[in-house]
Amino acid sequence: MNQSITNKKKRKKDTVALVLIYLSSGFSIGLLLLILGYVAFKAVPYFSFKYLYSTTSIIDHTVGILPNIINTLYLVIVTLLIACPIGIGGAIYLHEYAKNQKLVRIVTFANEVLAGIPSIIYGLFGMLFFGVYLGWGFSILTGACTLSLMVLPIITRNTQTSLETVPKSYREAALGLGTNKWYMIRTVLLPSAIPGVLTGVILSIGRIISESAALLFTAGSGVLLPKGLFSHLFNSGATLTIQLYLEMSKANYENAFVIAFVLVIVVLLLNLFAKFIASKWDVSKVENNGK
């Protein structure tokens, strides 16, 4: 047991370890800087705000990603419309109503399984089930339903965590005033749980925006502008990530870097927004009596 602090040999090992540690974290951080820098460096010469509101036309010789931005928005909104009620509702049931703990464990396990399935498998399933069996083919609706399964665990988990942080006293006070359970949940619990739910929503938006493998065979690669608000759901729609893949495949690297640049900026903004929400509405900072 050479625990003596005057032992010089141990010091050498320590410095080696320290050097390795600094190298590793330098590498990791350096990676981020390299990626951001390279994407910006390659994209800025070609970038102009015009990209964001024009379409790609062979006849007019223009390039633009407006349809892709619209498709991405459609996908985010529809996916959330499907996933949020299911996720939030499910989490509420599991946390507030469920008396059978076995059910809670099975559902939690199912959510973990869903979270672990690779996106290409979701893509295959979505294509088979929503695309072929239900007959929706390549469409935004197919893509949205597939993605909602992917983000379901995120929303459920975050809502559950958020419900856990709401102090018991809130519930007891409301029930003590004579409200019914659902009323209490609606008017007292949910509003207090909103920050956690919002975190889940933002994480889901991040996931939806970065998703490509699951969308390739579900939402497809269409780039038409919507002719009707609702009918566009049944059209095929390439999101920004899918368009990036297509441009890469065709070696249009200028377009590809512009799209990559836009994506990185969006992710950055989302991240900052999430941090802002988390810091501003921290329920656990509120006084907890009896928790």
- Residue list 22-81, contact with other proteins (CB under 8 A): 22-25, 27-29, 31-32, 35, 38-39, 42, 57-60
What is the per-residue burial (b if ≥16 Cβ within 10 Å, else e) of 204-220? bbbbbbebbbbbbbbbb
| End-to-end Cα distance, the chain | 46
Cβ nearer to other proteins, comparing 37 with 286: 37
Q: Do residues 270 and 202 touch, judged by C-beta distance below 8 A? A: yes
Span 151-190, contacts to other proteins by CB under 8 A: 152-153, 156, 178, 180-183
Q: Do residues 140 and 237 touch, judged by C-beta distance below 8 A? A: yes
Q: Do residues 209 and 195 touch, judged by C-beta distance below 8 A? A: no
Among 76, 147, 163, 216, binds other proteins (CB under 8 A): 216
- 185: which 2 tokens? 């949940």
Span 109-148, contacts to other proteins by CB under 8 A: 110-114, 116-122, 124-125, 127-129, 133-138
- 215: which 2 tokens? 């969308």
Cβ nearer to other proteins, comparing 134 with 286: 134
Cβ nearer to other proteins, comparing 100 with 289: 100
Q: Do residues 65 and 52 touch, judged by C-beta distance below 8 A? A: yes
CB of 156 to other proteins, least distance (A): 7
| Residue 273 within binding range of other proteins, rule CB under 8 A | no
| Residue 86 within binding range of other proteins, rule CB under 8 A | yes
Span 230-259, contacts to other proteins by CB under 8 A: 230-231, 234-236, 241, 244-246, 248-253, 256-257
CB of 291 to other proteins, least distance (A): 21
CB of 108 to other proteins, least distance (A): 9
CA distances from 165 to 21, 95, 107, 158 (A): 36, 11, 20, 11
Q: Site for other proteins (CB under 8 A): how many residues?
A: 112
Q: CA 72 to CA 76: how far, in whole Å? A: 6
Cβ nearer to other proteins, comparing 78 with 289: 78
| Residue 269 within binding range of other proteins, rule CB under 8 A | no
DSSP-assigned letters across all residues of 12-46: HHHHHHHHHHHHHHHHHHHHHHHHHHHHHHHHTTT
CB of 49 to other proteins, least distance (A): 21
CB of 287 to other proteins, least distance (A): 25
